[in-house]
Structure 1
């Protein structure tokens, strides 16, 4: 049976073989490849299956489909490929800002340039300057979908497999097939899939670079870690949610305690950061001088947009129901209030990782810090939940089944929180199928399978005489409080989902269903953030216990 922490060893990671997904379909599918000569096959299976899922989602609608004049994020990405093809680099961040002006950092611009150039060789009409606005065709859609899959294949998927391998070998005594099973549980998380390959964006590039940065911290490659992290920030500014932990972890290992001050390490990290930023910004400066940097910063950090735009499950939007912030304060004041609230919220995780810079605490610290940013920072979007969700899903490598249950719970709530956006995009079918599929694969629907579904839907070794029955392990936390929170939140989400699907909101309150969604989601996110910080505090002094 999977290992569970008991009160007597709560602060210890016992090195016991196994995985927390032994009673799940994904274990059934992959465990036959357990013998050493076949283990490499399992990695290719999960990669191929991950691609197939993403291709299937890509058959559906996308953001802004057939909705002029602005369309949506699909058109924004296409338009950036358009302008980087036909305009000189000094005009990229200045051109027609009333349409879809480029407002992501330089690496996104170079990424757009590459795929725009490649696409122009196939069909120049896709990215013809100005006249291609709103261009919608099946072949263009297929090409854009392919670029998203290729980007994820190059950045995010290898990083996940590599991370699970390192943690499995160094902390959890998991063999290759167990590492692959955990990697599949992370890769089949529905939120990133439906945003990047349904709604349409390239978040996997930012998250992949960030995870590669974390991986290099595990290998003590500090300069390389700094380079990957700058690449992550330079692709999408939301990666800054991770920056305080990255800063304090590296600072602690370089400067604290003072008797262990490592000037060479600190200098190497600093030089790596400066050179990477300089390399990315140099083409702009050479063409048009330092004014380009000011324009890039102005476009990348949209303080003029206000505290929030759309309804989102963070503190400001949720409490705005009672306190009308935009009426009481100026945007400048709200920016300062948000900054102070965010600094207070991230301080526990920053302090712990600075005083206890241990590798096994990194996913906990990155999760705690990025959830704080999501809950309290300025200008958060629904899709921003992908940033704290990435380090949160890394905790699936753990063997404590209560931790697994919490990660599964908050992943489902995060998916639910994006329903209003996905509904607008026409992705209802993909939303429901992905939600069911991802939970079924990791065993979260075993309780349904056990009682309601025919046996052929529960394949593999767990039907053998060695494992006579399939038990529910990851749905509900064993502590009564968290078990109750999970049950109530799932029940509330189900009711809100049904009401939203079946009934039009009252004319007087057109956003009522969305507000109910964001309020429930915020309550869950806030509780999870407190839980993450508590566990980070408890685990700060852990010691490894060898079997």
Structure 2
């Protein structure tokens, strides 16, 4: 593992100012306690706002979908969970989500039975229910995602970038306060934090060389939300490589232990359904989880298909089956560089880079992508804040902002505009990305102090400077037009389409950049892990 002298790249940030007083403490639990408490406060504040589908009958939205799953898993026998009333909000996530919903439904019914009364509770929107649902997301994140982030940054600090304990905490805070996950899980309402946290725990165990345990955590992530498949190729090729590559070090026992871990974990997820209703249950779960009949896309998402559909009307040219095959081929081509790199050089320094590239390729080219799917590539991308490279941090901050921007149409529809802007500004301010404001204030003869050792907001490369400044300028213009200018009658979705095309361009460039960095790092002579 390559080790470089750590240089704090957040010394100009309020995060650094808030946490640096705890630098000399031998135990950093107080600093970690502070960032967790502040994270809870921010998430609770967001949770005071509206949610997906609020007061929007007859289907409502994701809030009602999650509540309804708690309703059916509490009252119906397991063999009916994936068959019941599919025209409403039929269960369409893997088994672990179903078990999660069952537990939360049982606990909630102890407080108020009417929240999850079968068929009678549809569309219920009481304040008490809203508070309970918000708390379940918060507790889920506190139990899974936030500990995983702290464990990851601790491992990186001890074994990779030589960051001190307080610097590890500062980096963890920057990751935890990433606004996109907060506004989707605690505003729009979902439990993405569980799936992302389980995947991150799998990454941590890969770093610790606990391959069987890593496999178990990743299968649990897949069993919670099928979108974790975005990471699956990298896990597969990394684990395969450490077992069979090079040939002289072939380790059959390790390979067997990984295989057994995967099979047993999947079996434990599905066996209760098979016991209750036979193997037809497995078929039904797979049909519900992978809805290929819905078409290659539904909403306007910043991926290849939606962006290029502005010019090429795919559904008029290709059949559904042909689009599936083309999507598969493009996705395989998109993930190939990262998969090849991690198989030929399974180094821990490459793992997060390859996860970022692979998951972003899935977002750009795969079938049935939603706006919220950007959270999957964004998780490993934000982990790159552990790199001791100001250019990398600048790029990560840029794409995190573009990711939030890409979800603006969804958040606007949910009446989460206030949360969108406040979280975006708060995150950038905490990380020091607004330090450039001081320069303009000084030019305006407003007396402000100049921060020393400020991290450059822009990369050193001129091309990327122009790209980032241009994309921010275009995004700002689109927000201005969206607020002040009604779209033309013959182009009612013009601002949404512009958002989609701009975001797609940024994501594509970032994907190319990650592949360039992967090739660059893979060809370097690194010491063996």
- Is 1:278 the counterpart of 2:267? The answer is yes
Matching residue within 179, 191, 196 for 2:168: 179
Q: Which residue of 2 aligns with 1:6?
A: none
Q: Which residue of 2 aligns with 1:7?
A: none
The alpha carbon displacement at 1:447 in A equals: 1.0
The 2-side partners of 1:196 and 1:472 are apart by 32
Q: Which digits, 9 at most, give the CA deviation of each residue in 1:378-412, with x for residues without a partner?
A: 00000000000000000000110000000000000
Q: Which digits, 9 at most, give the CA deviation of each residue in 1:241-260, with x for residues without a partner?
A: 00000000000110122221
Equivalences for residues 125-524 of structure 1 within 5 A: 125-452=114-441, 469-470=451-452, 472-524=454-506
Matching residue within 9, 14, 18 for 1:20: 9
Paired residues of 1:408 and 1:474 also in contact (CA < 8 A): no
Flag structure 2 segments of 5+ consecutive residues without an equivalent: none
Question: Which shows bigger deviation, 148-157 or 33-42?
Answer: 33-42
The alpha carbon displacement at 1:513 in A equals: 0.5
The 2-side partners of 1:191 and 1:126 are apart by 28
The 2-side partners of 1:182 and 1:17 are apart by 12
Q: Which digits, 9 at most, give the CA deviation of each residue in 1:289-314, with x for residues without a partner?
A: 00000000000001000000000000
The alpha carbon displacement at 1:432 in A equals: 0.5
Q: Which digits, 9 at most, give the CA deviation of each residue in 1:191-217, with x for residues without a partner?
A: 000000000000000000000000000
Matching residue within 494, 497, 508 for 1:526: 508
The 2-side partners of 1:82 and 1:124 are apart by 10
- Is 1:118 the counterpart of 2:107? The answer is yes
The alpha carbon displacement at 1:472 in A equals: 4.5
Q: Which residue of 2 aligns with 1:5?
A: none
Matching residue within 32, 44, 63 for 1:74: 63
Matching residue within 536, 540, 543 for 2:518: 536
SS in structure 1 at match of 2:90: coil
The 2-side partners of 1:330 and 1:412 are apart by 36
SS in structure 2 at match of 1:165: helix
Flag structure 1 segments of 5+ consecutive residues without an equivalent: 1-11
Paired residues of 1:422 and 1:431 also in contact (CA < 8 A): yes
The alpha carbon displacement at 1:541 in A equals: 3.6
Q: Which residue of 1 aligns with 2:34?
A: 45
The alpha carbon displacement at 1:13 in A equals: 5.3
TM-score, length of structure 2 as denominator length: 0.97
SS in structure 1 at match of 2:356: helix
Paired residues of 1:245 and 1:366 also in contact (CA < 8 A): yes
Q: Which digits, 9 at most, give the CA deviation of each residue in 1:350-405, with x for residues without a partner?
A: 00000000011100000000000000000000000000000000000011000000
Paired residues of 2:96 and 2:269 also in contact (CA < 8 A): yes
Q: Which digits, 9 at most, give the CA deviation of each residue in 1:203-232, with x for residues without a partner?
A: 000000000000000011000000000000
Do the aligned partners of residues 38 and 358 (structure 1) sit closer, same or farther apart at CA in structure 2, a change above 3 Å counting? closer
Paired residues of 1:414 and 1:521 also in contact (CA < 8 A): yes
The 1-side partners of 2:254 and 2:225 are apart by 27
The alpha carbon displacement at 1:336 in A equals: 0.6
The 2-side partners of 1:489 and 1:450 are apart by 21
Do the aligned partners of residues 449 and 54 (structure 1) sit closer, same or farther apart at CA in structure 2, a change above 3 Å counting? farther
The 2-side partners of 1:531 and 1:17 are apart by 23
The 2-side partners of 1:521 and 1:21 are apart by 27
The 2-side partners of 1:432 and 1:271 are apart by 47
Q: Which digits, 9 at most, give the CA deviation of each residue in 1:312-369, with x for residues without a partner?
A: 0000000001110011111111001000000011001000000000011100000000
The alpha carbon displacement at 1:474 in A equals: 4.0
The 2-side partners of 1:247 and 1:544 are apart by 22
The alpha carbon displacement at 1:39 in A equals: 2.2
The 2-side partners of 1:48 and 1:18 are apart by 27
The alpha carbon displacement at 1:470 in A equals: 3.8
RMSD: 1.6
SS in structure 2 at match of 1:323: coil
SS in structure 2 at match of 1:309: coil
SS in structure 2 at match of 1:36: coil
The 1-side partners of 2:37 and 2:525 are apart by 38
